[in-house]
């Protein structure tokens, strides 16, 4: 696809000329702590996406568990268990290089998302890891996020995607299976 140079947005000013200014409430809803409603939404969320940036680029990792698997500690701190998984460690390695993180929490059936931005550290403190024994799974480390921004994000994306509507869910038999995907990536090179 060819992108015409005269249509490329290359400055903040040019971007602002193309979009209206946000409504006052959109700015005021951003706070630097977890309000009670934010703590409640996190306690109801079984899923979030963790965005990180490191020397190898950007990573957006899905994280899931039982509702409330991310623990809030007061208004400024989140504790996130990291269980043994595929051991790529993309996000955790990025946090070591650059502590800035973004999290987007989803609550099934709730159209708005809850966003948190802050600085993260990785802890292997056994007492923190043992804080998450309720799943029976061994926690390898805990991601500790010090909150810098927290805010509700409008539900337009989820509404447009009809994410929670059962009619919009695909028949999983039509999607590529995990076996097919693995076979593609592990097949011998053809000459």
Distance CA 78, CA 39 (A): 10
pLDDT at residue 191, rounded to an integer: 43
Q: 106-135 burial by CB neighbour count: b if 16+ within 10 A, else e? A: bbeeebbbbbbbbebebeeeeebbeebeee
pLDDT at residue 133, rounded to an integer: 78
pLDDT at residue 12, rounded to an integer: 84
Q: Which helix (DSSP H) or strand (DSSP E) does residue 141 occupy? A: strand 139-153
pLDDT tens sequence for the chain (191 residues) = 688 888 888 888 888 887 877 777 777 778 899 999 999 999 999 999 999 999 989 999 999 999 999 999 999 999 999 988 888 899 999 999 999 999 999 999 999 999 999 999 999 999 999 888 777 788 999 999 999 999 999 889 999 989 999 888 888 888 888 888 888 988 877 44
Q: Model-level pTM?
A: 0.88
Distance CA 139, CA 121 (A): 15
pLDDT at residue 119, rounded to an integer: 98
pLDDT at residue 63, rounded to an integer: 95
pLDDT at residue 108, rounded to an integer: 95
Helix, strand, or coil (residue 28): helix
pLDDT at residue 190, rounded to an integer: 45
Contacts of 124 (CB under 8 A, 6+ apart): 140, 141, 142
pLDDT at residue 92, rounded to an integer: 94
């Amino acid at each position: 696809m060819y992108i015409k140079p005269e249509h490329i947005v290359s400055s903040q000013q040019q971007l602002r000329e193309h979009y209206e200014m946000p409504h006052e409430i959109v700015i005021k809803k951003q706070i630097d702590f977890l309000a009670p409603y934010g703590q409640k939404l996190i306690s109801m969320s079984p899923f979030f996406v963790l965005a990180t940036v490191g020397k190898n680029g950007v990573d957006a990792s899905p994280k899931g568990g039982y509702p409330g698997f991310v623990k809030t500690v007061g208004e400024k701190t989140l504790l996130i268990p990291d269980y043994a998984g595929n051991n790529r460690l993309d996000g955790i390695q990025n946090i070591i290089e650059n502590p800035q993180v973004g999290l987007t929490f989803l609550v099934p059936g709730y159209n708005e998302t809850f966003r948190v931005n802050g600085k993260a550290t990785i802890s292997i403190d056994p007492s923190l890891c043992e804080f998450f024994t309720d799943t029976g799974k061994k926690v390898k480390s805990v991601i500790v996020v010090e909150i810098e921004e927290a805010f509700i994000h409008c539900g337009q994306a989820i509404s447009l995607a009809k994410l929670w509507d059962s009619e919009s869910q695909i028949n999983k038999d039509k999607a590529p299976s995990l076996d097919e995907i693995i076979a593609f990536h592990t097949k011998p090179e053809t000459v």
